[in-house]
A and B are shown apart, each in its own frame.
Chain A
Amino acid sequence: MESIIRATCVYIFLLIMFRIAGRRTLAETSTFDLALLLIISEATQNAMVGDDDSSLTSAFLVITTLIFIDIAFAWLKIRSPKLDRMVEDQPVVVLTHGIPNKTLMRACRITESDILAAARGQEGIETLHQIKYAVLEANGQISIIPEKSA
């Protein structure tokens, strides 16, 4: 029972922390983000398994619990848009017809450089004026819709 409770607590805690941290956190894994991810996983491992329990059964139960909670959340989110909005961020249009929405961008912690980087990568776009919409997606990625496609 303890493994299940520990895994559930860690899942909910991480869900809340990443919800607070925002969608851009760890969205694009830089070297430092990767190091941060490893530190988080190391810290959560001890919290989930505990000092005393190094059994195979405990590891299997923790994995089963985490995957099951994730499936249950996905199932509930489909059925409850309210829960979906609570748990997941919504897409945000941060740039319209080449004009960036500075307030939203500051709130979402993205810069014009981030938008341009996404634009170059996805569409080979060089300037902001060539972008019709830049959308910060729920998963933290920036989607670019070029002007020419309008």
Chain B
Amino acid sequence: MEISTNPATEARNHIFHQVGWLAMGFIIIAAIAGYFGFGGPASKATLHNEQFTLTYDRFARAETPSYLFLTAHKNLKNIVMLLPEKEMRVQGIVPEGALKGVVNDRKLVFELDANHSVALKIMPRRFGVFPISIDADGTTISFDSLIYP
């Protein structure tokens, strides 16, 4: 039986496979940790100030819902949230009564009583890094959300 073999190529292939298996292992560990979004400890982040606490998805996926929770520490009359207009669409707000107004699908204005929360279901439409900022009675928090394809 004649089979053409090339030990050097075989050795290279073996190394290539092993590196690939290692990379797959790292990807899975990163995904379990939440670095690719949709669950996992690293996928969510929490920001606080004296006015409110904000929990959001640090990593999200395009065309997959992402959630943002805002809890007021005191009565807040004017919470202004700025979203990237074309890249993110708000699909739901609970409770709806917290929303006072929307300007150009981009600027959302809320009112919250102390120790009350509002939850937003946001649908990222494209991948990339997009800034979101929230201003509550003069105090601003800004953060970036990484959207995977």
Contacts and interface: CB of A to CB of B under 8 A. Distances in A.
Interface of A: 1-5, 52-58, 61, 64-65, 67-68, 71
Given A4-B31, A64-B28, A68-B28, A53 B21 contact: no
A92 to B, nearest CB: 29
Interface residues of B, number: 22
Contacts of B61: 53, 55, 57-58
Contacts of A61: 27-28, 31, 36
B65 A52 contact: yes
A1 B33 contact: yes
A1 B62 contact: no
A5 B33 CA distance: 12
B43 interface: yes
B21, B34, B61 — which one has the most chain A CB atoms within 10 A of its CB? B61
A4 B25 CA distance: 12
Interface of A is mostly: helix
A55 B63 contact: yes
Contacts of B34: 1
B28 A65 contact: yes
Interface of B: 21, 24-25, 27-28, 31-34, 36-40, 43, 61-65, 148-149
25 contacts: A1-B31, A1-B32, A1-B34, A1-B38, A1-B40, A3-B31, A3-B38, A4-B32, A5-B39, A52-B65, A53-B38, A53-B61, A55-B61, A55-B64, A56-B148, A56-B149, A58-B38, A61-B28, A61-B36, A64-B28, A65-B28, A65-B31, A68-B21, A68-B28, A71-B24
10 A-B pairs with least C-beta separation: A1-B40, A55-B61, A1-B39, A57-B148, A2-B39, A56-B149, A68-B24, A53-B64, A55-B64, A4-B31
